[in-house]
A and B are shown apart, each in its own frame.
Chain A
């Protein structure tokens, strides 16, 4: 016994630090059972890590057993019913399997014989008769008893079930020796009596022996149980509590409840507003109460949808193990805070991005043992997942102690792929380089493995996380490791938002995007807003904040002219900008409702909501606004660098040009004033109208013009999955000019060096020290569609 328990604790030491939540070796628990008295406390601690697994097992098994009782009785009435038999067989098989997995050998052995018996019944080798039914029911009782023992003391108890097993075995053998199934009934009775002679008093009829068998087994078990636990009856009632306090609920019902609570929150808001105007004391007390109850109800319902992040993580040990094996690496996976809860829909949404990151870290991050030893690190690499709540958000960190991100390598790759220019590279910090891994089509893996390295992925990870209102950031120390930090909101359905006014309408801005509010009054309002070539900016603590006027973006008329400037400072991606609105109201919890199909295409709005007064308000999509106002360009890093350039001032006499790549090394420019938008189209979205490639764009059909085809005579866009397009709009008609790569936006003093005879170009200029062709958009468009400039809009709905 001593030896056992010492071994036991040794094993425990080995197992626990590696993965405290992983299933311990079955031996551990077996030994724990063997010395029940001494090790019962030990073993309870031992398995504490698996508590959740065992709890789930118990709850599930109880449900299954209840079903079994019904099934068995039903089967007795309809012995031929194969479907019931199969269902019983499956249930017992599941219980047996899980027992073996968790390490309850006694439970397993009982279930095992039962399963054998059932399989014979199922295969038609045996025909069900009352003794068999009773024996099976006795087995169900035994399993139930052991389960209650497990629930109470984490072990199966020391009741001896060998007699039950024997009975089952004899039934199994006795019957199988029978060759004539027709004779089963009569013969089985004698067989049973003979076989179970020691257990049951011999009887002539079929029913009694088994009826005795059951109580006898119980009688035998009960004293033992009493002796072990003291007060059997009381304990037994407590035992069932776990199963009784858990119920399974359809997620749909929870979603429905969530919607209803959303409605209730709205109604509450309306009543609160009404209550504020009303001075009645009783009424305000009632509203206060309603307020409290609603808040609690909302929290409660939201909790029901919460799931521990461990549900997603549970598959990672296997993923990492397999990956490590296939790459010949040694990786230790640590998990911290797996009980951190978040909304079910969010759990679903982060599953894929998280898997991707973990695979990435294991594949690219952690080095091979040889490399690690050479770098003076322990042979085994460490991959750590950490989750915790902070400031109403869920933080997830994926930390590895691998090779880290090499800024040089990133730089080379980025230059090679024209993601950044030399100049920008010179100014970027290591951290900015690291974040380039989120740029589209970027992979630094030296070779493409079957796991990752195809250059898709991290940008998708980022998009997916941003889709659910989250952010992702990477910090890396070369040769020391990488940390990826993901922040996501707790829930999506109800969010705090700031309401603002523009053009007489209310709009809601999600508070996640909100940084601060600035109010400029009187003289300040006039002076503080400066203009760089028509683009308004405000100096916020020494930094230039680009301003966007909401009414201009939404193309609505200003309602009132006043001398106040309300600036809502917002964060889109990593870029800040100021949204100028006419008025700022208060913050409110709003229920986000999706936009209808007809309005999906408007990037400025992410949804709608019902305000306290029952009216509908639109929710602004900060990211969409920033994009349409070109605060955030295709390449964020660049725009940031550019804006710091603008900080130098004196750019007024310069022209802003959009630089894009064409063909291998071609550089072309188009005045930014001619560019309506930059868009990315998927190849799948492109359709044909005759020979012309077109794309459906904002409810219109927009022709695509491949610039390389016209200028270089080669259609370079043909193989590409996504097309970078410059949307050029005149008189309400648009065409998409497809470039190979959008490179940059620059302010430059340009002088045309020489006129060009080349098709589609106006001439050649020097931009950023490089020769750049100036695009003759008009000529190109005219060639493709001679009627484009006819001063008549095509669509007049």
Chain B
């Protein structure tokens, strides 16, 4: 018997990503945010989400992708993590997909190191691949990210 999992999906450029639906608190359009000087470059700013202050992380920067073209506003995918509620800035939000575990596979070693660090698996869909993001690792800016990017550089 195969199990199905639901993912909230979104795009970063032409890459198709998914986050487990139960980890997603909500999604909303671009909202003005307060920048944080001296913060790591992946932190885009702070957002007031109904009285709760949440940190917005630029997912493109986190995955070492190019910046979003000028004028295009990112959208917020708010995820719950052990480090608290964090907003991930993505290009465009897509549907909630239910996919079968049969199609799951670990990411191949050939993909970019940072991406491999943060993507724990791939679902082979009919016409594209769904990359599943490890939200805990994504929002954790500690050693993991530094080492991985150092490794990537060297």
Q: Which of A554, A556, A598 contacts B55 (CB 8 A)?
A: A598
> Do the beta carbons of B39 and A797 come within 8 Å of each other?
no
> Do the beta carbons of A616 and B53 come within 8 Å of each other?
yes
| Measured CA separation A307–B30 after assembly (Å) | 44
> Do the beta carbons of B51 and A263 come within 8 Å of each other?
yes
Q: Which residues from B are CB-within-8-Å of A610?
A: 48, 51, 53
Categorize the interface residue count of chain A.
20 to 34
**Given contacts A608-B46, A616-B48, is CB(A795)–CB(B153) below 8 Å?**
yes
Q: Which residues from B are CB-within-8-Å of A616?
A: 33-34, 45-48, 53
Q: A753 contacts the other chain (Cβ, under 8 Å)?
A: no
> Do the beta carbons of A794 and B150 come within 8 Å of each other?
yes
Q: Which residues from A are CB-within-8-Å of B40?
A: 598, 699, 797
Q: A701 contacts the other chain (Cβ, under 8 Å)?
A: yes
Q: A796 contacts the other chain (Cβ, under 8 Å)?
A: yes
For residue A556, which residue of chain B has the nearest CB? B37
Q: A596 contacts the other chain (Cβ, under 8 Å)?
A: yes
> Do the beta carbons of A615 and B142 come within 8 Å of each other?
no
Q: Which of B38, B47, B64, B84 contacts A597 (CB 8 A)?
A: B84
Q: Which of A266, A597, A614: most chain B CB closer than 10 A?
A: A597
B37 to chain A, nearest CB (A): 4
| Measured CA separation A596–B57 after assembly (Å) | 11
A574 to chain B, nearest CB (A): 26
Q: Which of B51, B86, B142, B146 contacts A596 (CB 8 A)?
A: B86
> Do the beta carbons of B143 and A797 come within 8 Å of each other?
no
Q: Which residues from B are CB-within-8-Å of A618?
A: 34, 36, 46
| Measured CA separation A119–B142 after assembly (Å) | 59
B132 to chain A, nearest CB (A): 22
**Given contacts A696-B142, A699-B142, A701-B143, is CB(A797)–CB(B34) below 8 Å?**
no
Q: B83 contacts the other chain (Cβ, under 8 Å)?
A: yes
Q: A371 contacts the other chain (Cβ, under 8 Å)?
A: no
> Do the beta carbons of A699 and B146 come within 8 Å of each other?
yes
Q: Which of A122-130, A422-430, A599-607 contacts B (4 or more CB under 8 A)?
A: A599-607
Interface string of B24-41 (1 = CB under 8 A from A): 000000001111111111
Interface string of B130-148 (1 = CB under 8 A from A): 0000000001111101110
Q: Which residues from A are CB-within-8-Å of B145?
A: 699, 797
| Measured CA separation A492–B149 after assembly (Å) | 39
Q: Which residues from B are CB-within-8-Å of A605?
A: 36
B58 to chain A, nearest CB (A): 11
> Do the beta carbons of A797 and B64 come within 8 Å of each other?
yes
> Do the beta carbons of B34 and A615 come within 8 Å of each other?
yes
For residue B86, which residue of chain A has the nearest CB? A596
For residue B85, which residue of chain A has the nearest CB? A596
Q: Which of B36, B61, B84, B143: most chain A CB closer than 10 A?
A: B36
Instruction: Identify which of residues 19-77 in chain B touch chain A, using a CB-to-CB cut-off of 8 Å.
Output: 32-43, 45-48, 51, 53-55, 57, 61, 64
| Measured CA separation A700–B61 after assembly (Å) | 17
Q: Which residues from A are CB-within-8-Å of B154?
A: 794
Q: A617 contacts the other chain (Cβ, under 8 Å)?
A: yes
**Given contacts A608-B46, A616-B47, is CB(A599)–CB(B153) below 8 Å?**
no
> Do the beta carbons of A555 and B142 come within 8 Å of each other?
no
> Do the beta carbons of B139 and A615 come within 8 Å of each other?
no
Q: A216 contacts the other chain (Cβ, under 8 Å)?
A: no
Q: Which residues from B are CB-within-8-Å of A700?
A: 146
Q: Which of A593, A598, A617, A699: most chain B CB closer than 10 A?
A: A598
Q: Which of B32, B38, B64 contacts A615 (CB 8 A)?
A: B32
Instruction: Identify which of residues 98-146 in chain B touch chain A, using a CB-to-CB cut-off of 8 Å.
Output: 139-143, 145-146
| Measured CA separation A556–B38 after assembly (Å) | 9
| Measured CA separation A555–B55 after assembly (Å) | 20
Q: Which residues from A are CB-within-8-Å of B41?
A: 797
| Main secondary structure on A side of the interface with B | mixed
| Measured CA separation A503–B35 after assembly (Å) | 11
B70 to chain A, nearest CB (A): 18
For residue B81, which residue of chain A has the nearest CB? A597
> Do the beta carbons of A602 and B53 come within 8 Å of each other?
no
> Do the beta carbons of B34 and A266 come within 8 Å of each other?
no
Q: Which of B32, B33, B34, B150: most chain A CB closer than 10 A?
A: B34
| Measured CA separation A506–B142 after assembly (Å) | 28
Q: A505 contacts the other chain (Cβ, under 8 Å)?
A: yes
Q: Which residues from A are CB-within-8-Å of B147?
A: 701
| Measured CA separation A794–B21 after assembly (Å) | 37
| Measured CA separation A481–B149 after assembly (Å) | 59
| Measured CA separation A605–B36 after assembly (Å) | 9
**Given contacts A596-B54, A701-B143, is CB(A796)–CB(B153) below 8 Å?**
yes
Interface string of A758-797 (1 = CB under 8 A from B): 0000000000000000000000000000000000001111
**Given contacts A598-B139, A610-B51, A616-B48, is CB(A604)–CB(B146) below 8 Å?**
no
Q: Which residues from B are CB-within-8-Å of A699?
A: 40, 141-142, 145-146
Interface string of A614-628 (1 = CB under 8 A from B): 111110000000000
> Do the beta carbons of B153 and A597 come within 8 Å of each other?
no
> Do the beta carbons of A598 and B43 come within 8 Å of each other?
yes
| Measured CA separation A538–B154 after assembly (Å) | 48
Q: Which residues from B are CB-within-8-Å of A597?
A: 83-84, 139-141
**Given contacts A699-B141, A795-B149, A797-B64, is CB(A608)–CB(B53) below 8 Å?**
yes
Would you list the 9 A-B pairs with minimal beta carbon distance, nearest first? Answer: A554-B37, A597-B83, A616-B34, A616-B46, A596-B55, A263-B51, A797-B149, A602-B38, A556-B37
B interface with A by C-beta (< 8 Å): 32-43, 45-48, 51, 53-55, 57, 61, 64, 83-84, 86, 139-143, 145-147, 149-150, 153-154
A-B contact pairs, 20 of them (CB 8 A): A505-B35, A505-B37, A554-B37, A556-B37, A596-B55, A596-B83, A597-B140, A598-B40, A598-B43, A598-B57, A599-B36, A602-B39, A615-B48, A616-B34, A616-B45, A618-B46, A701-B143, A795-B153, A796-B149, A797-B149
A interface with B by C-beta (< 8 Å): 263, 266, 503, 505-506, 554-556, 593, 596-599, 602, 604-605, 608-610, 614-618, 696, 699-701, 794-797
Q: Beyond A599-B39, A700-B146, A701-B150, list 8 extra A-B contacts (CB 8 Å).
A: A596-B54, A596-B55, A604-B37, A610-B51, A699-B141, A699-B146, A701-B143, A795-B150
